[in-house]
Structure 1
């Protein structure tokens, strides 16, 4: 039986500029491309027309079509990861498994389990840095402890960056590199228990240079729709982070700063995995949240009476996307105006956001709540009305999602801003005594 290597696709759904795949091909062995519809992960996507499942499914269809031109195909399984590798090791003579690193707490545990299983069979497991420019342990303070504040981290990130860091890992793809077609065909969406949303279609990521070049001036105005919309592509790896950073270096430094924030929050979650579910600043666990379920439901539905908040929530519910400026406003409103635990909002975003990423979502929610690393002071409370005047002065964004707002107030504000602000300040001060 011919000895092969496996390349296990995860958050890197592309053949080009893929570090782990590059090294798998360089091994000199034929590569079996593998994707696992991990039943443990799919259970986290209970909505049957979830756009994220549709996105990575259709990205996989495109990836598989590319492999077909090389007389190969993706080897698909729908099972738990360990059971898949048990089957593969009895079917093939595997010399090694190649993949790219994943940094979330549960995925790190999963990889450690797989590595241990393979080691017992004398099969190598090699994981490479691909979804970040710098992994968490590459940028440390002089005393070798992690950064907890963005600004010095970003300064070191920029000072350490070289042209080599954004160089694409390209290798000319040839039919001879891959194992031929197998019997492990792609299951349908229906087989996986999902249905396609006919109003929404996967589109390969592209750099709109006009949007990127004008990002600094336009990014805070939701009516302009002037952000890159590349979050989901970065999340699932249909575009490489090296390509994004290389483009940002040419076109816009503000967008580069946003990409650095992504790496900062990824590093924070890596070094402080407790922050996935607990406040980074543990004293904030003492806050006496009100956690009113009826008020939370109004926030979820976009029925708070604050137009910018409600427009954002309705956009999220309908499209799976929300403009970043509006995300900050709706998060601040939930935590500060309603005194509802940030974890409720984080969990709701986890269900709804197409570009959901654990590290970024947790990091940003804790920033809004004031309980994270490098957090805004707890007494910084967004005034949604003033935010609306500043960033949607003509009401174009609001009218897109709340048509009645053109003619009359659609509902009364559920809480007075001044009273809510004072209540929040009292609650935070009491907890932090």
Structure 2
């Protein structure tokens, strides 16, 4: 009887999984395998929060597979060594996998393909991560897109992505070889015996395909209709919360697209679908511009006069900038592994503009602490905020953290939740505590500079400094107002 190898990557689900479907169509038995290949990922290896999620997601996937008759083999090491050896031992002619977009994963795919080919075997890649593969989707001129709006229009003009595939009722599993890894031996964080900084994550998340489907169903059943307005309000549950599930492929982009399209009509659904297309655009950029995580897509910005300062970076990371909306976001991130999208933009703007810290430092912190740390979206979004991407917000557009807080969290519900030392301040001062009179501070039990810091930089001075830094670039590289 023939055997098919199914290599899980960033697609940890059974429904709408083209590689799984192809493996089943190939006949015979199927051996699912996940390979933790930190050596291939290098500097882009999974961060701490990602590793926590991965552990839970793999446990969920293994349970789902076992319920259908197939084991999940866990392995650690170089995929180009492990997979050909497995294929040879099982007599498998083909390895099926989803196509990855990350530069390191593309190199990994090439090495696995070459090693299998040398042994007379094949690697077959399938679409499991995106709606449309970026290598086959270009502009009318045949060039890749560099601007979101025409990209989104072209995606919409290409038609609906099709109906998702159902999960198989049964999978004829192959017997795995002895000596596989366990979840513990993979060394995914947190490590036993060390402080469990992720202890609060389970209160917010249910990793795995079942959790993804439950969250998608809840969102499509009601909140999506209010998404256009509610998505910008961090104090309410207006977001879908699907980003970690999408990042790990516990739900496919096609499943999300179809559920959103069928659930509601109107501006809420339309706005949400545009967010899915922004994710697609980010993958498109990363595929065609693999330097996206490391270098500015607008080369002139490589000379931007950043002022790296470790204490300022630490204050931002710890939620101690003195700007309540930013500090609330950074503390939400640390405690839940996630941050509201509007607040991500405000926090990122403060770092790269008011504080003049390099965008790569912010991207690195998000990479380590976000459960939805996605190389394409994280890199593209930071370049967007920093003004150095191909289609970015101009650098001179500086978010005022006070006004952003007052506009999108007017009653301070979000700030009061995540920055409890400010909870007793009146609404008028919740986003500007340094302006509160002494009696108001005393009544709130707040000592500025002790219980909560004063702003690390004056907002007006920070904006002026950012614009001066922009002006220091050559005229042909600076944004025109």
Instruction: Name the counterpart of 2:453.
Output: 411
1:187 paired with 2:182, answer: yes
Q: Give me the whole-angstrom Cα distance separating, in 2, the residues matched to 1:238 and 1:310.
A: 30
Q: Give me the whole-angstrom Cα distance separating, in 2, the residues matched to 1:100 and 1:46.
A: 18
State the 1:282 CA deviation.
0.5
Would you say the 8 A contact 1:72–1:181 is kept in 2?
no
Q: Counterparts in 2 of 1:336-355, with a 5 A limit?
A: 336-355=353-372
Q: Counterparts in 2 of 1:299-378, with a 5 A limit?
A: 299-378=316-395
State the 1:89 CA deviation.
3.8
State the 1:173 CA deviation.
3.2
Would you say the 8 A contact 1:20–1:100 is kept in 2?
yes
CA-to-aligned-CA distance 1:20-74 (integer Å, 9 cap, x gap) = 1111111123211111122425986687xx4432322222222222222333211
Would you say the 8 A contact 2:49–2:369 is kept in 1?
no
Would you say the 8 A contact 1:74–1:185 is kept in 2?
no
Gaps of 5+ in 1: none
Q: What's the TM-score once normalised by structure 1's chain length?
A: 0.93
Tell which deviates more after alignment, 382-391 or 77-86. 77-86
1:200 paired with 2:201, answer: yes
1:339 and 1:39, CA in 2 relative to 1: closer, same or farther beyond 3 A? closer
CA-to-aligned-CA distance 1:225-245 (integer Å, 9 cap, x gap) = 321111110011111111100
State the 1:272 CA deviation.
0.9
Q: Give me the whole-angstrom Cα distance separating, in 2, the residues matched to 1:198 and 1:419.
A: 39
Instruction: Name the counterpart of 1:211.
Output: 223
1:365 and 1:36, CA in 2 relative to 1: closer, same or farther beyond 3 A? same
Residue number among 230, 238, 258 corresponding to 1:246 in the alignment:
258
1:167 paired with 2:166, answer: no
CA RMSD of superposed structures (Å): 2.0
Instruction: Name the counterpart of 1:19.
Output: 18
Would you say the 8 A contact 2:84–2:112 is kept in 1?
no
Would you say the 8 A contact 1:211–1:226 is kept in 2?
yes
User: How many residues were matched structurally?
Assistant: 427
Which secondary structure state, in structure 2, belongs to the residue aligned with residue 223 of structure 1? coil
Q: Give me the whole-angstrom Cα distance separating, in 1, the residues matched to 2:153 and 2:391.
A: 15
Would you say the 8 A contact 1:220–1:325 is kept in 2?
yes
State the 1:254 CA deviation.
0.8
State the 1:295 CA deviation.
1.0
State the 1:84 CA deviation.
1.1
1:44 and 1:276, CA in 2 relative to 1: closer, same or farther beyond 3 A? closer
Would you say the 8 A contact 1:22–1:170 is kept in 2?
no
